[in-house]
């Protein structure tokens, strides 16, 4: 079965009643955890972005505590998983400020991580890629926000 375009789906959704739309959303939520998480964000958390950011930061904190520190191999896997989850939360929001906030928080946790990521080339490169990514995203923000975030990024570089 070939998926139709978003435009066609949008057109078809206009023809549905509110009850049919509700049933469709609930059915989608049953299929994948990510669909349910996205609906949770849209229905309950999108109204207060600051609280959403704080809840994601708490989740990141918990995940950093759970990282297996026995070898750099396990550390790398754990830190990449955290970054993957952070990216998923960023996609739900579609807000550039939220994206920059969460990536800066991830990098600050990564910088303080023990054992030091500077002893492993792959982790050091992961960190540097994220800093470059943050700089790129900051350039897309409003000028007033850019200055504040550039200061934070410089503190991560130092």
pLDDT at 158: 63
* Mean pLDDT (the chain, rounded): 92
Average pLDDT on 114-139 reads 93
Average pLDDT on 101-129 reads 94
Instruction: Give the chain's count of helices (H) and strands (E).
Output: 8, 0
Listed by start position, the domains of the chain span: 47-157
Confidence of residue 117 (pLDDT cuts 50, 70, 90): very high
- The radius of gyration computed from the CA coordinates of the chain, to the nearest angstrom, equals 19
pLDDT in tens, 5-31: 999 989 998 999 999 999 988 898 898
**Model-level pTM?**
0.88
């Amino acid at each position: 079965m070939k998926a139709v375009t978003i435009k066609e789906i949008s057109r078809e959704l206009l023809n549905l009643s509110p009850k049919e739309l509700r049933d469709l959303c609930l059915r989608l939520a049953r299929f994948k955890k990510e669909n349910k998480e996205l609906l949770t964000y849209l229905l309950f958390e999108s109204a207060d972005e600051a609280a959403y950011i704080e809840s994601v930061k708490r989740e990141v904190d918990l995940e950093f505590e759970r990282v297996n520190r026995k070898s750099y191999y396990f550390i790398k896997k754990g830190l990449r998983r955290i970054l993957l989850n952070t990216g998923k939360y960023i996609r739900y929001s579609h807000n550039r400020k939220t994206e920059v906030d969460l990536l800066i928080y991830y990098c600050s946790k990564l910088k303080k991580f023990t054992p030091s990521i500077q002893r492993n080339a792959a982790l050091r490169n992961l960190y540097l890629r994220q800093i470059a990514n943050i700089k790129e995203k900051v350039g897309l923000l409003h000028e007033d926000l850019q200055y504040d975030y550039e200061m934070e990024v410089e503190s991560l570089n130092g």
